[in-house]
């Protein structure tokens, strides 16, 4: 499959990094800057073309006539839409446009088909949706959804007095009478996909897969808070903050935004009349204390500077037990940041890359026995959770799970059959039409057959 990525900024680079790991993809990167193209070619196994994505000769040089997918990820929404239109007319490939402006997001979806867009991706909106989901379960560090929201993977930390401390995974369902499955454990710098004999310890970060109701029942049993937050303080009034506030206000959450730029405050007041907009420096400790950070149920750091977000969250952590969410744009120091325990960390470009990679893999596997519906990175990026829709003639259909010859570090985490959540057991079988969530440390799976030896 041939893929063209136009624009080698944060998202373009992350996409190139992830997609270049797939040997079945031929990637060409296009950018007007010679230096970034040279960096891309030297760093990854890709082709590079210097030029504008709106120039037909540049697109021809990039191989537009043979391209299967073009991804427009420049810093300009208008340019991305124009590039996709030209690519569709000139090369007839699938096109994906990164569109950030809230006004465009509303209108582009109306004429998506006219522009020939296969997908519109909005990094700020997708980040806001992830943050809102995290605020619904404050005790969870990460929440990923599958089967159109019916199935979730929740990640949380085992406390010292938790009933899970020193408990075998196999004892979970009997001792706690719960319908959940432990699909991953992080201990120190290692990640495990545990079998039944694995013993969980305090300090571990565990990921469970379950239905929404089962996860609530399970968390209540182990003494973990399950109620969503009722109020939040958002520091930074950018586009992500706007999207997040809109989502939260609809669910009845009280929203306060602290923004340093006076003009932006005026704009937010007009756009979000139900929110409280504060003109002030949210990185100033005195301002945070004056605005009641000590009493807030959640604090979301959304400034444009990673270091400010980290320091802001560290201060909030010292003052309150509120749910903390920290946005990070650069991931060069992700290991260090991970050790600071800043609550839920949001990487917008990672989320965007996941959405696009899922589309690419689904297109590549359109003739396979199972298509990828959803994909998330879990266990601190060391594993993938993939949802496959099982089609005809699947090599795993109608065979008891205990008889499948699975690869190492592969777990069939759940079966969704006609909306019913099934925790897989050895005698269970998978049928045509089922949605199956697979957790694996072996990245790059494109078809359900890839989980078999």
Same domain, 421 and 313: no
pLDDT by residue for the chain (453 residues), tens only, comes to: 899 999 999 899 999 998 998 878 899 999 999 999 999 999 998 999 999 999 999 999 999 999 999 999 999 999 999 999 999 888 889 999 999 887 776 677 777 777 778 888 998 999 999 999 889 888 888 888 887 778 889 998 898 889 999 999 988 888 887 888 999 999 988 899 999 899 999 999 999 998 888 888 888 888 887 778 999 999 999 999 999 999 999 999 999 999 999 999 999 999 999 999 999 999 999 999 999 999 999 999 999 999 999 999 999 999 999 999 999 987 666 667 767 778 888 988 888 888 898 788 777 765 455 667 888 888 888 888 989 888 888 889 999 999 999 998 899 999 999 888 898 988 999 999 999 999 998 877 777 888 888
Count of CA atoms in the C-beta half-sphere (13 A) of 408: 1
Q: Is 419 exposed, middle or buried (0-12, 13-18, 19+ CB in 10 A)?
A: exposed
Same domain, 16 and 89: yes
Same domain, 9 and 115: yes
For residues 64-103, one letter each, b for 16 or more C-beta atoms within 10 angstroms of the residue's C-beta and e for the rest, the string is beebbbbbbbbeebebbbbbbbbbbeebebbbbbbbbeee
Residue finishing a domain among 321, 349, 378: 321
For residues 190-217, one letter each, b for 16 or more C-beta atoms within 10 angstroms of the residue's C-beta and e for the rest, the string is ebbbbeeebebbeebbbbbbbbbebbeb
Q: Is 276 exposed, middle or buried (0-12, 13-18, 19+ CB in 10 A)?
A: middle
For the chain, the first-to-last Cα distance in angstroms comes to 25
Distance between CA atoms of 141 and 162, rounded to whole angstroms? 16
Asked if residue 406 belongs to a domain, the reply is yes
How many CB atoms lie under 10 A from the CB of residue 399?
13
Helix then strand then coil, in percent of the chain rounded to 5, is: 35, 30, 35
Residue 99 has which token pair?
């569109």
Residue finishing a domain among 321, 352, 375: 321
Residue 446 has which token pair?
């494109």
Same domain, 278 and 374: no
Same domain, 367 and 444: yes
If you search the block for the tokens 């806001």, which residue do you land on? 128
Distance between CA atoms of 92 and 85, rounded to whole angstroms? 10
The answer to whether 184 and 191 are in contact (CB under 8 A) is yes
The predicted model scores a pTM of: 0.81
Residue 252 has which token pair?
């009845």
Residue finishing a domain among 121, 142, 171: 121
Distance between CA atoms of 57 and 71, rounded to whole angstroms? 17
φ, ψ dihedrals at 421, nearest 5°:
-85, 125
What CATH number should be reported for the domain holding residue 297?
A: 3.40.50.720
Asked if residue 172 belongs to a domain, the reply is no
Same domain, 112 and 17: yes
Residue 360 has which token pair?
């690419």
Parallel, antiparallel, or unpaired for β 117-121 and 94-98? parallel
DSSP 8-state code for residue 275? S
**Which range of residues forms the domain containing residue 256?**
231-321
Residue 96 has which token pair?
């994906």
Parallel, antiparallel, or unpaired for β 410-417 and 420-422? antiparallel
Asked if residue 381 belongs to a domain, the reply is yes
Same domain, 296 and 385: no
Distance between CA atoms of 30 and 4, rounded to whole angstroms? 7
The answer to whether 375 and 172 are in contact (CB under 8 A) is no
Cα distances (angstroms) measured from residue 275 to each of 173, 238, 265, 288, 431 = 43, 14, 11, 17, 48
Distance between CA atoms of 150 and 448, rounded to whole angstroms? 21
Mention every residue, 6+ apart, whose C-beta is less than 8 A from residue 114: none
């Amino acid at each position: 499959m041939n893929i063209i990525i136009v624009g080698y900024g944060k998202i373009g680079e992350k996409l190139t990094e992830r997609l270049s790991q797939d040997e079945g993809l031929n990637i060409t990167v296009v950018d007007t800057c010679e230096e970034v193209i040279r960096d891309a070619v030297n760093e990854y196994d890709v082709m590079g073309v210097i030029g504008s994505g709106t120039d037909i000769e540049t697109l021809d040089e990039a191989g537009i006539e043979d391209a299967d997918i073009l991804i427009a990820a420049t810093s300009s929404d208008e340019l991305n839409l124009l590039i996709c239109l030209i690519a569709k007319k000139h090369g007839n490939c699938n096109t994906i446009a990164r569109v950030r402006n809230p006004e465009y997001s509303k209108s582009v979806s109306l004429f998506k088909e006219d522009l020939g867009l296969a997908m519109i991706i909005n990094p700020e909106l997708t980040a806001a949706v992830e943050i809102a989901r995290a605020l619904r379960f404050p005790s969870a560090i990460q929440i990923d959804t599958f089967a159109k929201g019916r199935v979730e993977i929740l990640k949380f930390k085992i406390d010292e007095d938790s009933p899970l401390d020193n408990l075998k995974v196999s004892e979970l369902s009997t001792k706690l009478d719960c319908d959940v499955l432990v699909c991953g454990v992080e201990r120190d710098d290692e990640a495990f996909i545990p079998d039944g004999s694995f013993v969980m310890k305090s300090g571990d970060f565990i990921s469970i897969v379950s239905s929404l109701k089962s996860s609530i029942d399970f968390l209540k049993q182990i003494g973990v808070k399950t109620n969503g937050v009722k109020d939040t303080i958002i520091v930074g009034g950018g586009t992500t903050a706007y999207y997040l506030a809109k989502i939260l206000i609809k669910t009845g959450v009280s929203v306060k935004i602290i923004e340093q730029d006076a003009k932006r405050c005026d704009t937010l007041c007009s756009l979000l009349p139900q929110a409280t907009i504060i003109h002030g420096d949210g990185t100033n400790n005195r301002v945070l204390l004056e605005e009641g950070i000590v009493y807030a149920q959640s604090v979301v750091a959304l400034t444009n500077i990673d270091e400010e977000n980290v320091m802001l969250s560290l201060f909030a952590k010292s003052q309150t037990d509120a749910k903390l969410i920290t946005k990070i744009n650069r991931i060069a120091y992700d290991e260090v940041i991970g050790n600071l325990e800043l609550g839920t960390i949001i990487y917008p470009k990672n989320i965007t890359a996941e959405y696009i990679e899922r589309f690419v893999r689904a297109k590549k596997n359109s003739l396979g026995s199972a298509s990828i519906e959803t994909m998330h990175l879990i266990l601190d990026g060391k594993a993938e959770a993939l949802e496959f829709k099982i089609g005809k003639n699947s090599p795993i259909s109608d065979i008891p799970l205990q008889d499948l010859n699975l690869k190492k570090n592969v777990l069939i985490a759940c079966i969704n059959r006609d909306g019913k959540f099934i925790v897989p057991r050895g005698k269970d079988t998978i049928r045509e039409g089922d949605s199956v969530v697979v957790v694996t440390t072996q990245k790059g799976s494109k078809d359900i057959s890839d989980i078999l030896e």
